[in-house]
Amino acid sequence: MREAFEILEDAITDCGYWRWWTANLPASFQVEFGGVQLFQPPSEASRSPSGIYALRFMQPRKVEFLDFAADIEEDWFSLLQADKITPPSLGRDQFILGDADRAEQLRQQAVHAHLHFTSPDSGGQVHLAFRAGQSFGLFVAAESVRLLSHSGEIAFSSVARLHGDWWDYWRRYWKLRDTPDELPRDNTCEVCIPAGG
């Protein structure tokens, strides 16, 4: 699972952003990302593949929205959920999935934490902590996590293949660009340029 989490960290943060969140507490807490580099065929040939994926945390133990600046809107997380602020981008060094110690270290860097939910059961088997943009962040501790797309749940054992498939798709996208066979415009492909590229 650790390898899948590390690949997901890269796939989510290379060109990704935090789109949305929703909660069905105490059963689950879900966070949704866009620009994720996992490939699944588009539902229609005239469309680009969806880059929207979610992590659904089951039996959360703690959920906190993190402020990394002192002068931000107090209820920014509600505005994000209501699509009233621009989704903040993510960074590779500021996104930790699975590693409890590193997640806690990032959590401790926040200037303020808004406790959204806490369970009488402490701990949690899976942790997520990330900083989004300059000011926002999230911390989740839960018993387990699921990876979801619009087509349903994705096995963590498929993550490496789907990430490799996305880069194959990216290469094809650019090979065919500005030709009669070009693929539908894909904003994630347009902004993702690999190191040395």
pLDDT tens by residue, 23-53: 999 999 999 999 999 999 998 888 999 999 9
Position 97 pLDDT exceeds 60: yes
Contact predicate 103/110, CB 8 Å: no
Average pLDDT over residues 168-178: 95
Peptide bond into 49 cis (omega under 30): no
* Whole-number pLDDT of residue 86: 94
Position 71 pLDDT exceeds 60: yes
Average pLDDT over residues 76-82: 96
* Whole-number pLDDT of residue 197: 46
Between 2-13 and 159-176, two packed helices, what is the crossing angle to 10 degrees?
A: 30
State the burial class of residue 65 (Cβ atoms within 10 Å of its Cβ: 0-12, 13-18, 19+): buried
**If pLDDT is split at 50, 70 and 90, which confidence band does 88 have?**
very high
Position 176 pLDDT exceeds 90: yes
* Whole-number pLDDT of residue 195: 53
* Whole-number pLDDT of residue 194: 66
* Whole-number pLDDT of residue 196: 44
